[in-house]
Amino acid sequence: MLVIAEKPKAARKIAEVLSGGRARWCRGKGRAGYWVFEFSGRPMVVASAVGHLFGLHTGRRGFPVFEYTWRPLWQVDRSAAYTRPYYELLSLLSGRASLYVNACDYDIEGSVIGFMVIKKLGDLRRARRARFSSLTRSELMRAFRSLSGIDYDMVEAGLARHELDWLWGINVSRALMGSVRAAAGRRVILSAGRVQSPTLAELVRREIARQTYVPLPFFRVVASIRLPDGSTIRAEVARFDKRADAAEFAREARSARAVHVKDVAERSLSIPPPYPFNLPDLQAEAARLFGYSPYYTQKVAEDLYLEGLISYPRTNSQKLPPSLDVMPILEGLGKDRNYRALVDVLLSQTGGVLRPRNGPKDDPAHPAIHPTGVLPKVGRLNRAEARIYDLVVKRFLSTFARPAIYRFIRVELDVAGRSVTMTGKRLEEEGWLALYKPYASFSERVLPRLSVGQTLPIASVSVEKSLTRPPEPYTKIKLVKWMESVGIGTEATRARIVELLVQRGYATVVRGKMAATDLGLTVTAILEKYFSDLVSVELTRFFEKKLAEIRSGSTTREEVIMSAKKVLAEKLTIYKEKFMEHAGRELAEALGALQPKDRCLVCGRRVEEGNLCRLHLLALEELARKYPEWRERLAGLEPHSYLAMVAKSRYAGEAVRELLEKHLGLALSRLAADKLGK
């Protein structure tokens, strides 16, 4: 029997567990090797792939291209040379096997990896699938005693995803590169992707919104209120858009000279424990707590899985099924002194009745991420692994615990006829917070004791001008969360695609904040102009839904691929005939391969319209658009004082400030022209 694992580490773990530590290691070429032992009285060989061993390939040049075949990866991708020894060893071992078991990770990718090996090197008529969610003894024994047939729906969905991504990527990338070559005779590497491009487009939208941001003013009325114990608190009592309204209210508040306590209400609020982790939630927590990128967290979690310490991490499920045996896991964890204390707290809180707080999200293949109950050997884990492991353990324990209970106090004050609310809170019952330390903290906010009818003197009232803020830049985890919220990519691929944007030079990361580069802005502009629906979230999501339908057996790979080819063929033909030349020039100029005919007055990039590039043009338009609103809020505001205030603000976008710094006159004449036009 030949068992195919996804990675060498998994092969070792499977062999160790199934042989009871008696497996013999046989070396192949390079780092490749295999394990031999007897299982249930029959010889078993465990070997491994190293991720994908096969990839799509076409011999045709140019675009559109719709013909392709699956070939060994090392033959079609020079950077995949390391896969060759594994391919050759599996090829050799496959010749002698009587039965093939796909024991790759139980998800779409794993199903495809094992399937391709058996299809190309072995015999699908003698193939089985091992299904497991963690590399523990009990799971693996169960999986290998009850092997099932090949999971064709999952395989088909996986193959379709590869074909779809390949068709998209190669055709649109070739269209972009071909245009530059035709326009400037230069070869540049540009890439586009079915999921990558809509994600980049979102990052670019945020970048442009930030760069061209013009803040709006608003006015806060702040009162210093004297408390019975002699101390004072400063409280914002009202907010106004217009300065005149704020000044008027401040006058009223000063003449009222005191505030009245209208109402004091208290109530308890119960905060339920968190859901068990799926991968996106684990990535978000690790980013919040440790600053890890989603891709890094995923890699660390996969290592913990390969060590047999936690269950399979690439899952979307927030559920722990009733079939999961919790007690043995708690017993295992309890062998560690610190976890023992937490397990005791949990058992006393719940009286031993352990019901997880399952979330709404589900995954057909795996439960939520949970510890297996196997403890790491002392000193075996590095810092990141130890952190992620501890987080997974504590999250798992918390989800069974009791709610935390807060006491909220809400005080309503009357300030010159306006209601102002202040709230305070303190913790009444710790509940799950006791188990999720130090990852959740509760903040208390103490309010002075006040009773209804009390009057408090106002010491002073002031009006403070503030400015609205630009949208926050994306972090990697926020971009992953955005992809999840619009339904593109999968939990296994999203983090990698975000990473890819940085590798391709489309985005940079500074102190955790992502920004789109010039190249990212240019490629997106071209894609949006000429392939707008190809990079739309809608179309990507549509195909994502189709892939899920293949997985559940309600449509076929052939149908989905055919409709994708049709969409692509249409767009690409129109592009080639009508737009390629123009787009090629535009791209080449932006990439510096061609000299732009006209350069932006501010930055020297190619001109979009008038004397400005696209970014500075948008900045100018935004300045013009916001001016009437500023005049409304600050009566009588002259254009030059408006522009001076914006130029000084640190909330104004970079492109806006550049424009005002270098060509203030341009903005002034635009505002004057608007005035004349009206």
Number of residues this chain uses to bind Zn ion (CB under 5 A) = 6
Element (H, E) at 161: helix 152-184
If the CB atoms of residues 65 and 601 are measured against Zn ion, the closer one turns out to be 601
Is residue 361 within 8 A of residue 278, CB to CB? The reply is yes
Closest to Zn ion by CB, 557 or 605 = 605
Q: Using an 8 Å Cβ cutoff, are 462 and 222 in contact?
A: yes
Distance CA 19, CA 21 (A): 5
Nearer to Zn ion, 5 or 602 (CB): 602
Q: How far is the CB of 658 from Zn ion (least distance, A)?
A: 8
Q: What is the footprint of Zn ion within residues 464-483 (CB under 5 A)?
A: none
How many other CB atoms sit within 10 Å of the CB of residue 61?
Answer: 8
Structure tokens at 489: 């990519």
Tokens coding 532: 């707008």
Asked whether position 92 contacts Zn ion by CB under 5 A, the answer is no
Q: Which residues pair with 143 in a beta bridge?
A: none
Please report the sign of the dihedral spanned by the C-alpha atoms of residue 74, residue 78, residue 81, residue 83.
Answer: negative
Cα distances from 602 to residues 207, 460, 546, 611, in angstroms, run 18, 47, 47, 9
Alpha carbon distance 414, 418 (integer Å): 5
Please say whether the beta carbons of 411 and 264 come within 8 A: yes
Q: Which residues contact 486 (CB under 8 A, 6 or more apart)?
A: 537, 541
**Helices 8-19 and 137-145, packing angle to 10 deg:** 80
Q: Is 312 a catalytic residue?
A: yes
Name, in order, each residue with C-beta under 8 angstroms of 578's C-beta and a sequence gap of 6 or more: none
CA dist., res. 569 & res. 70, Å (int): 22
- Minimum distance, C-beta of residue 605 to Zn ion, in the bound complex (Å): 5
* Token representation of residue 56: 């799509």
Which CB, 479 or 600, lies closer to Zn ion?
600
In the complex, what is the shortest distance from the CB of residue 617 to Zn ion, in angstroms, rounded to a whole number? 8
Token pair for residue 49? 């792939």
User: For the window 594-633, what string marks contact with Zn ion as x by the rule CB under 5 A?
Assistant: ------x-xx-x-------x--x-----------------
At its nearest, how many Å lie between Zn ion and the CB of residue 603?
3
**Distance in Å, CB of 657 to Zn ion, minimum:** 12
CA dihedral 649, 654, 659, 662 (to 10 degrees): 90
Nearer to Zn ion, 211 or 283 (CB): 211
Which C-beta is closer to Zn ion: that of 107 or that of 622?
622
Binding mask 358-397 for Zn ion (x = CB under 5 A): ----------------------------------------
Stretch that binds Zn ion, among 64-72, 162-170, 321-329, 593-601 (CB under 5 A): 593-601
- What minimum distance in Å lies between the beta carbon of 365 and Zn ion? 50
Residue 614: CB minimum distance to Zn ion, A = 8
State in angstroms the smallest separation of the CB of 616 from Zn ion. Answer: 4
Q: CB nearer to Zn ion: give 377 or 597.
A: 597
**Separation CA 594–CA 587 (nearest Å):** 9
| Distance separating alpha carbons of residues 108 and 162, to the nearest angstrom | 11
User: H-helix or E-strand containing 187?
Assistant: none
Burial group, residue 98, by CB count within 10 angstroms (0-12, 13-18, 19+): exposed
Burial-class residue 103 by CB neighbours within 10 Å (0-12, 13-18, 19+): buried
Of 153 and 622, nearer to Zn ion (C-beta) is 622
Nearer to Zn ion, 183 or 666 (CB): 666
Using the minimum distance from each CB to Zn ion, give the nearer residue, 209 or 603: 603
- Of 86, 213, 312, 339, the active-site residue reads 312
Nearer to Zn ion, 157 or 515 (CB): 515
User: In angstroms, what is the minimal distance from the CB of 600 to Zn ion?
Assistant: 3
Least distance (Å) between residue 599 CB and Zn ion: 8
How is 523-592 classified by DSSP, letter by letter? HHHHHHHHSTTTT-HHHHHHHHHHHHHHHTTSS-HHHHHHHHHHHHHHHHHHIIIIIHHHHHHHHHHHHT
Listed in sequence order, the residues at least 6 apart from 401 whose beta carbon sits closer than 8 Å to its beta carbon are 273, 345, 346, 349, 350, 431, 432, 434, 435
For the bound state, the minimum distance from the C-beta of residue 406 to Zn ion, rounded and expressed in Å, comes to 51
Burial class of 657 by CB neighbour count within 10 A (0 to 12, 13 to 18, 19+): middle
Q: How far apart are CA 34 and CA 36, in angstroms?
A: 7
Tokens of 92: 């050799």
Active-site residues, by number, are 312
Interface positions with Zn ion (CB under 5 A): 600, 602-603, 605, 613, 616
